[in-house]
Amino acid sequence: MNQYGKVLTDVTLNDRFWNRFRETLVREGIPYQWKALNDQLDADAEPSYCMRNFRIAAGREKGDFGGFVFQDSDIYKWLEGVAFSLRWHPDPALEAIADGAIEAVAEAQQPDGYLDTYYIINGLDKRWTNLKDNHELYVAGHMIEAAVAYCQVTGKRRLLDVAIRLVDHIDSVIGPEPGKLHGYPGHPVIEMALMRLYGVTHEEKHLRLAKYFVDQRGQAPLYFEEEDERNQNRFFWRDSPLRYRYYQAERPVREQKDAEGHAVRAMYLYSGMADVARETGDEGLANACRDLWESATRRRMYVTGAVGSSEHGEAFTFDYDLPNDTVYGETCASIGLVFFARRMLLLEPKAEYADVMERALYNGIISGMQLDGKRFFYVNPLEVVPEACEMDAHKRHVKPQRQKWFGCACCPPNLIRMLTSLEEYVATGAGDTVYVNLYVGGRIREGGLSLNVETNYPWEGDVKLTVTGDAPWDGKLALRIPGWCGDWTLSVNGKAVKAVPCQGYAVLEGPWKSGDVVELRMDMPARWVRANTRVRENAGRVALQRGPVVYCLEEADNGPSLHSVRVGTEARAESRWEPDTLGGVVTLTTPGLREKADKPETGLYTFREAPDAEAVALRWIPYYAWANRGVGEMRVWIRA
Amino acid sequence: MNQYGKVLTDVTLNDRFWNRFRETLVREGIPYQWKALNDQLDADAEPSYCMRNFRIAAGREKGDFGGFVFQDSDIYKWLEGVAFSLRWHPDPALEAIADGAIEAVAEAQQPDGYLDTYYIINGLDKRWTNLKDNHELYVAGHMIEAAVAYCQVTGKRRLLDVAIRLVDHIDSVIGPEPGKLHGYPGHPVIEMALMRLYGVTHEEKHLRLAKYFVDQRGQAPLYFEEEDERNQNRFFWRDSPLRYRYYQAERPVREQKDAEGHAVRAMYLYSGMADVARETGDEGLANACRDLWESATRRRMYVTGAVGSSEHGEAFTFDYDLPNDTVYGETCASIGLVFFARRMLLLEPKAEYADVMERALYNGIISGMQLDGKRFFYVNPLEVVPEACEMDAHKRHVKPQRQKWFGCACCPPNLIRMLTSLEEYVATGAGDTVYVNLYVGGRIREGGLSLNVETNYPWEGDVKLTVTGDAPWDGKLALRIPGWCGDWTLSVNGKAVKAVPCQGYAVLEGPWKSGDVVELRMDMPARWVRANTRVRENAGRVALQRGPVVYCLEEADNGPSLHSVRVGTEARAESRWEPDTLGGVVTLTTPGLREKADKPETGLYTFREAPDAEAVALRWIPYYAWANRGVGEMRVWIRA
């Protein structure tokens, strides 16, 4: 173990909240998405073509390439998710299907190791001519990630060998040596993928290539510019305010201070940067990550953990620009934020990183999936008026209901791999300390420690951690005190203990023996949230949060015209566990005022007092569960 | 005179407020725009190509067509404005330039009467193949309007003869007869142009053609669809929510209930419809105009008289959808609204129409021009954060400062022709009544009546109307009581008179003799405006209006972060005439609160009370004068 932390991987989950999501995925989501990738959904769902492309590439079937240039990545993300799921939910039938998919992938691989069905079908002579936009390295990255996960869980090397051959091929084509392309991916992901591969192979070449992609990015002369000229590629963002910022390639990564451009690409790049920084001990690179983290999460993040303020480029815009109704907030971007957060947590154990991870997980990520696992949001708005999504072209990317599938279906399989691998986000270790980052029921094992965690989080704030196992353990136990938590108490074996949180963690010294019980009781009232006054869109508005869960008002509970609703922030919210609502949620009720709707005859503009308002009880539901009861308005930030 | 009203054209203006604008136009705007049309502006202004196209079309010069397909219209609108200006500001040198321009136009006309430099230069074989998008009828319409105005003012028929020959050509190509194209313009304007031509020629053919364009529009089978198929034209709006609504052609005009699609096209079409309805006594068509008027002005208009909520298609969106920051609000669209309003006023003398006319004129139209007449807004936002215009692609159409010129330069010459012809908007006549619609200093003559109007409107609410002339006049005088006016008194020859307004007009019976003095005293306090509660974006916000003038806050007076400013609506605004500010304006001061700006370190989301606020004095300037003191924030609707 170097100076940095590591992920604790010997974790099993048994958590009331997450079990439901994960069982839905295993029962519905994974089979549903396999159908989708094989074009077996209803006719009104967008086709995928994904598996068909592999069959065509392998020569088993005739036809044209279908879908986006990065279509291959969908099966890789699905396979990665399947791999993770097999770890906690063995399923020989599913594994057999996955093995079959892996065979289809392997069959398409070219003798020289190349593997991307787009170019295999459309002509290999054009490969590697457009790293900027054509996603070959992106697809390869997801392939590598799937291969590592599948091998780690099942022990089967078939896909890993394919991946290693592909990486060897890439290494022969791209790199600093004369005669190679001095390029890097337009869409990052291969950086963190290579680092994961390196974690398994310990092959210097894999680390070196990851580091090259990170270091070379944005260097002058700009590879993308040269490439465009050489190959007469189109530069779609030429006249956009984004330009090369879209690709996080406007300058070398160590000089980047703001989270810019396409939000998913940004998050994936920063994750890879943090991986390289940790592995190589490169504090300059780590500092760049810190700057980018601050930009992304302290100035450019929604209260739901969504990132990406604009549909234009699915991108960041500028500091404190966080419109609720035209937001992009792609599910994948929040997932990427969690990737980034965990890696920052490994660079330094600060609870701030885990706070953001939690914010994204309990809000803007799981909002991406319908409760039945069969429909998905790509965009996760904080304010929706269905008529506007239909009639205002600039809000058409915002959907008032989840979709069955997408032509660009990055989000659904990303949700699978995120939620099936939740074990890897629970705890980290550094030195002799075990950091508990997420409060999730289950068991954490590390060295001599075995820690049983019981909680009804996020609905209740009590967490009971019981030490089990044979031998005493001498390390420290660091429990995150969440940013949302104002009051908490801690006891060990029934006795209150005081702990001054350090970087957001209450640290308890050992030694620990079997039977020791640590109890963390976090007071969890609903609290009004105010945005930094620099956020224009939220001026005079509040949101409501309880524990890590952000709430919203829906038309289904509160009628339409939610812009006419005001809250009284003096009153406390009543919370109630409703087991039969939305799969079981705590709902909140607060007093509010609803301004009486003018008649159209009132005219548009009048000189008069503020409109009359009547007292109403407002019913709030967790944001993540919105749009599960038909189409209607929804709003997170309410006038105060 | 039929049952409907007529414009009173024997009006001279001598108005403190408007003189300044009109003198700026004559002194700066008209010469500046002539330079622009001849590509003689600074290199950083967008080129026009307009006059060059005419020279190329006439064979005097070699070259390619430059600019948009509708580029010809710019010189026509300029000529129309010049014509109007010559009526009140004779200028032989300018007239000689205009005559020269007319010669250039006439020289380009083809032997068969056709005239559109785009097709003359690019190939006449393609003419009339794309009425939907290629603007031949639009360009013709503006030509006709210029020709009529120029002939009426100067007595010179040169351009009128060109126009009549062009109309004959159009009539030979388009119409209901077999073998002709059963089409109509994608961009209306020719309808009202032909009605103006008919007013001069009284040729049945001109009326018939206008009526055909109105009646045929949107009929099934849809001409635009057939035309696209026949000529393999592109349908840009196929996948937009707008589709044929962009062109107001989704259904026959009598079935249209909502103001839809491209806002300028809509306003021009409705104006033409009202002209045809009035001329033909078609009450069905007049009713369609009434419906469209209500939709446009009671559900889809900004407080500044701007229309067109979205940049997408420069178009209307849906009822009460009036975003302040992504608004389009094209200067031309507000001008079109004034055209439409005046025609509605002729259909029926209701002050509502004149109220809207006034709202647009004193706010959203003159905001389109810099006070020096040399820079222009195309888009007239009600809320601007300069950084957002730069960094948020969906606000890039919103400019924080006026531009020198535009590739598509419809607005600047439209401003000229609007303001130079203001005389025609002041008064209307119907039966034995003279309706005074706008309070503008000057003289109105009609029949035996000569009415001298003195006022310092819009800064003061007193209007003195003195009857002059030789013979007594027996008609009624109807004075508009503006919608903004809560308290007013009326006196005749010093004696208070009571008049119950009818349709918004206080009607005074005659007979009138020379020396009679009517005094209307309108109380003109600044008043807080509230939007209909259905307008989401203005919930909890107020605007400030004094007389017809809508005010705004600018960063220049009130600092940045105007979203952090709240007003106290209990207090009265102090008004002050400031002769040296912004060309002379009444400024307003109100008490307000400014929330203290959070530091970035405060973080994005915190649980806390409302931010501290400090009392401030807010300084308001007329909206039309914003962005004349450098780049900064501006906001009309302020949190209350």
Min Cα distance A403 → chain B (Å) is 18
Judging by beta carbons within 10 Å of its beta carbon (0-12, 13-18, 19+), is residue B176 exposed, middle or buried?
exposed
The answer to whether residue A383 is domain-embedded is yes
Return the ∠ at Cα A199 (arms to A193 and A203), rounded to 5°: 95
In terms of Cα–Cα distance, which of B545, B547, B485, B489 is closest to B518? Answer: B489
Please report the ipTM that was assigned to this predicted complex: 0.94
Q: Which residues of A are less than 8 Å from B534 in CB distance?
A: 561, 597-598, 600
Whether residue A440 contacts residue A13, with contact meaning beta carbons closer than 8 Å, is answered with yes
Q: Which residues of A are less than 8 Å from B543 in CB distance?
A: 605
Alpha-carbon span B140 to B190, nearest angstrom: 7
Question: In this structure, what token pair is assigned to residue B330?
Answer: 């094209």
Alpha-carbon span A77 to A411, nearest angstrom: 10
β-pairing, A574-578 vs A605-606, is unpaired
Cβ–Cβ of A530/B605 closer than 8 Å? yes
The confidence score (pLDDT) of residue A66 equals 95
pTM metric for this prediction: 0.95
> Which residues of A are marked as active site?
314, 410
State the catalytic residue, choosing from B95, B314, B383, B423: B314
Q: Quick one: B508 and B602 in the same domain?
A: no
Q: Quick one: B487 and B545 in the same domain?
A: no
Interface contact A595, partner B, CB < 8 A:
yes
Which residues 508-527 of B are in CB contact (within 8 Å) with A? Answer: 527
Interface contact B394, partner A, CB < 8 A:
yes
Question: In this structure, what token pair is assigned to residue A287?
Answer: 């500092």
Whether residue A365 contacts residue A335, with contact meaning beta carbons closer than 8 Å, is answered with yes
- CA dihedral in degrees (B159, B163, B169, B173; nearest 10)? 150
Judging by beta carbons within 10 Å of its beta carbon (0-12, 13-18, 19+), is residue B6 exposed, middle or buried?
middle
Cβ–Cβ of B533/A596 closer than 8 Å? yes
pLDDT (tens digit per residue) in B10-22:
999 999 999 999 9
The answer to whether residue B1 is domain-embedded is no
Regions in chain A scoring below 70 on pLDDT:
1-2
Q: Quick one: A505 and A550 in the same domain?
A: no
The answer to whether residue A253 is domain-embedded is yes
3-class SS shares of chain B: helix, strand, coil, % to 5: 40, 20, 40
Q: Quick one: B50 and B104 in the same domain?
A: yes
Q: Quick one: A242 and A133 in the same domain?
A: yes
**Shortest CB distance from A608 goes to which of B530, B539, B596?**
B530
Min Cα distance A334 → chain B (Å) is 16
Alpha-carbon span A317 to B394, nearest angstrom: 11
Q: Quick one: A446 and A496 in the same domain?
A: yes
Residue type, A113: G
Q: Quick one: B315 and B326 in the same domain?
A: yes
**Shortest CB distance from B317 goes to which of A391, A536, A563?**
A391
The number of residues in chain A equals 640
Residues 6+ apart with CB under 8 A from B376: B331, B368, B369, B370, B402, B403, B405, B406, B411, B412, B415
Whether residue B458 contacts residue B17, with contact meaning beta carbons closer than 8 Å, is answered with yes
Q: Which residues of A460-488 are buried (b: 16+ CB within 10 A; e: fewer)?
A: bbebebbbebeeebebbbbbbbbbbbeeb
Q: Quick one: B24 and B126 in the same domain?
A: yes
Helix (H, G, I), strand (E, B) or coil at B450: strand
Q: Quick one: A381 and A490 in the same domain?
A: no
Domain end among B497, B522, B547:
B522
pLDDT (tens digit per residue) in A164-190:
999 999 999 999 999 999 999 999 999
The answer to whether residue B273 is domain-embedded is yes
Q: Which residues of B are less than 8 Å from A391 in CB distance?
A: 241, 317-318, 321
Cβ–Cβ of A303/B604 closer than 8 Å? yes
Alpha-carbon span B296 to B312, nearest angstrom: 17
DSSP string, B512-558: B-TT-EEEEEE---EEEEEE-TT-GGGTTEEEEEETTEEEEEEHHHH
Interface contact B595, partner A, CB < 8 A:
yes
Residues 6+ apart with CB under 8 A from B238: none
Domain end among A425, A453, A474:
A425
The answer to whether residue B545 is domain-embedded is yes
Q: Which residues of A are less than 8 Å from B594 in CB distance?
A: none
Distances (CA, A) of A302 to A163, A268, A482, A575: 36, 18, 18, 24
Number of separate domains in chain A:
3
Q: Quick one: A254 and A226 in the same domain?
A: yes
Question: In this structure, what token pair is assigned to residue A280?
Answer: 């190589």
Helix (H, G, I), strand (E, B) or coil at B131: coil
The answer to whether residue B4 is domain-embedded is no
**Shortest CB distance from A600 goes to which of B298, B392, B393?**
B298
In terms of Cα–Cα distance, which of A639, A631, A638, A637 is closest to A385? Answer: A631
Cβ–Cβ of A597/B534 closer than 8 Å? yes
Q: Which residues of B are less than 8 Å from A607 in CB distance?
A: 484, 486, 527-530, 545
Alpha-carbon span B332 to B338, nearest angstrom: 10
Distances (CA, A) of B235 to A205, B119, B478: 53, 20, 49
For residue B237, give its domain range.
12-425
Interface contact A610, partner B, CB < 8 A:
yes
Q: Quick one: A357 and A443 in the same domain?
A: no
Q: Which residues of B388-415 are buried (b: 16+ CB within 10 A; e: fewer)?
A: bbebbbbbbbbbbbbbbbbeebbbbbbb
Cβ–Cβ of B604/A540 closer than 8 Å? no
The number of residues in chain B equals 640
Placement of tokens 């079908």 in the chain: A121
The answer to whether residue B2 is domain-embedded is no
Min Cα distance B528 → chain A (Å) is 6
Residue B175: which H helix or E strand, with range? none
Q: What is the largest CA-CA distance in chain B?
A: 79
Domain end among A501, A522, A543:
A522
The answer to whether residue B6 is domain-embedded is no
In terms of Cα–Cα distance, which of B111, B109, B128, B110 is closest to B173? Answer: B128
**Rg of chain B over CA atoms, in angstroms?**
25
Cβ–Cβ of B530/A604 closer than 8 Å? no
Question: In this structure, what token pair is assigned to residue B56?
Answer: 């190329």
Q: Check residue A398 and report its DSSP letter.
A: S
Mutate to test the interface with A, among B555, B572, B604, B637 (most CBs of A within 10 A): B604
Interface contact A407, partner B, CB < 8 A:
no
Alpha-carbon span B317 to B311, nearest angstrom: 10
- Domain of A156: which CATH number? 1.50.10.10
Q: For residue B238, count other CB atoms closer than 10 A to its CB.
A: 10
Residue type, B492: V
Which residues 615-634 of B are in CB contact (within 8 Å) with A? Answer: none
For chain A, the straight-line distance linking the first and the last C-alpha, in angstroms and rounded, comes to: 50
Min Cα distance A591 → chain B (Å) is 17
Regions in chain B scoring below 50 on pLDDT:
1
The confidence score (pLDDT) of residue A538 equals 97
Which residues 186-245 of B are in CB contact (within 8 Å) with A? Answer: 240-242
For chain B, the straight-line distance linking the first and the last C-alpha, in angstroms and rounded, comes to: 50
**Rg of chain A over CA atoms, in angstroms?**
25
Question: In this structure, what token pair is assigned to residue B174?
Answer: 């388009």
Whether residue B140 contacts residue B133, with contact meaning beta carbons closer than 8 Å, is answered with no
Q: Which residues of B are less than 8 Å from A486 in CB distance?
A: 607
Q: Which residues of A are less than 8 Å from B539 in CB distance?
A: 563-564, 595, 639
Whether residue A322 contacts residue A249, with contact meaning beta carbons closer than 8 Å, is answered with no
Q: For residue A186, count other CB atoms closer than 10 A to its CB.
A: 22
The confidence score (pLDDT) of residue B630 equals 95
Q: Minimal Cα distance from A385: which residue of B?
A: B536
DSSP string, A300-368: SB-TTS-B--BTTTTB--STT---SSS---BHHHHHHHHHHHHHHHHHS--HHHHHHHHHIIIIIIGGG
Which residues 301-340 of B are in CB contact (within 8 Å) with A? Answer: 301, 303, 309-313, 317-318, 321, 326
State the catalytic residue, choosing from B289, B410, B411, B485: B410
The confidence score (pLDDT) of residue B1 equals 40
Phi, psi values for residue B576, rounded to 5°: -145, 130
Return the ∠ at Cα A20 (arms to A18 and A22), rounded to 5°: 65
Q: Minimal Cα distance from B355: which residue of A?
A: A605
Q: Quick one: B473 and B535 in the same domain?
A: no
- Domain of B453: which CATH number? 2.60.40.1180
Whether residue B236 contacts residue B133, with contact meaning beta carbons closer than 8 Å, is answered with yes
Helix (H, G, I), strand (E, B) or coil at A500: coil
Mutate to test the interface with A, among B394, B550, B605 (most CBs of A within 10 A): B605
Angle at which helices B92-108 and B50-57 cross, to 10°? 50
In terms of Cα–Cα distance, which of A363, A340, A355 is closest to A291? Answer: A340
